[in-house]
């Protein structure tokens, strides 16, 4: 069985070309993206969150699966990198790009519960997991990638991942499954 994506977002190739041109090497892997699109499709009309926009590959996949009435908020601290996402995806009225730290976003969010949170940065993953899970609706999905060793990891990051993976099974707010697939995933559902 070939697990390559059957369909791709229209803007993805241009986003990845821009990422390559600027030396950005942390875009969402294609199989992970395809899964994100599928999970987004399971939340019709839902409010979705992406912490860590990067250049917008993950956002492109999420939008690819979202219904016309769903909404996506994508948060990135590096405005130069997020500008690529805004340029390619910003005309889609379902997405709002917010520039700033994920910690600041978690501090100030007081909107409706989230149907899905895709976390591609440290806040909401390696710290403040409980804060993020509190924002999910019952049955809301929590998705994390990049749990298998990556060439872009800083020194000491493996220990952070290992400690986090050891902690997650004791987290009472979600039922989760780690997956040794794609870049290394964990998918959880708010209980």
Domain for residue 153, yes or no? yes
Domain for residue 7, yes or no? no
Residue 93's domain is classified under what CATH number? Answer: 3.40.50.150
Domain for residue 6, yes or no? no
Domain for residue 74, yes or no? yes
pTM: 0.95
pLDDT of residue 119: 97
Domain for residue 5, yes or no? no
pLDDT of residue 32: 96
Count of domains observed in the chain: 1
Taking only the tens place, the pLDDT of each residue in 42-82 is 999 999 999 999 999 999 999 999 999 999 999 999 999 99
Mean pLDDT of 20-27: 90
Cα gap 146→67, rounded to integer Å = 26
Taking only the tens place, the pLDDT of each residue in 90-123 is 999 999 999 999 999 999 999 999 999 999 999 9
* Contacts made by residues 93-96, CB under 8 angstroms, sequence distance 24+: 94/63, 94/66, 94/68, 94/70, 95/59, 95/63, 95/71, 96/71, 96/72
Domain for residue 3, yes or no? no
Domain for residue 60, yes or no? yes
Taking only the tens place, the pLDDT of each residue in 123-182 is 999 999 999 999 999 999 999 999 999 888 889 999 999 999 999 999 999 999 999 999
Asked if pLDDT for residue 35 goes beyond 90, the answer is yes
Domain for residue 102, yes or no? yes
Mean pLDDT of 10-25: 94
% of residues, the chain, pLDDT over 90: 91
- The domain of 52 spans 12-190
């Amino acid at each position: 069985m070939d697990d390559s994506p059957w369909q791709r977002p229209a803007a993805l190739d241009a986003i990845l070309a821009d990422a390559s041109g600027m030396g950005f090497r942390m875009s969402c892997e294609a199989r992970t993206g395809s899964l994100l699109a599928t999970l987004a499709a399971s939340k019709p009309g839902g409010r979705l969150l992406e912490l860590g926009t990067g250049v917008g590959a993950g956002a492109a996949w999420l939008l690819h699966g979202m219904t016309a009435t769903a909404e996506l908020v994508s948060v990135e601290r590096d405005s130069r990198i997020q500008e690529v996402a805004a340029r390619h995806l910003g005309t889609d009225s379902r997405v709002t790009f917010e520039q700033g730290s994920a910690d600041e976003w978690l501090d100030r969010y007081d909107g409706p519960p989230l149907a899905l949170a895709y976390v591609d940065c440290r806040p909401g993953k390696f710290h403040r997991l409980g804060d993020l899970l509190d924002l999910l609706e019952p049955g809301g999905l929590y998705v994390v990638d990049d749990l298998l060793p990556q060439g872009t990891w800083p020194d000491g990051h493996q220990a952070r991942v290992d400690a986090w993976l050891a902690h997650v099974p004791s987290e009472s707010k979600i039922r989760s499954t780690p997956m040794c697939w794609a870049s290394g995933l964990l998918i959880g559902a708010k209980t």
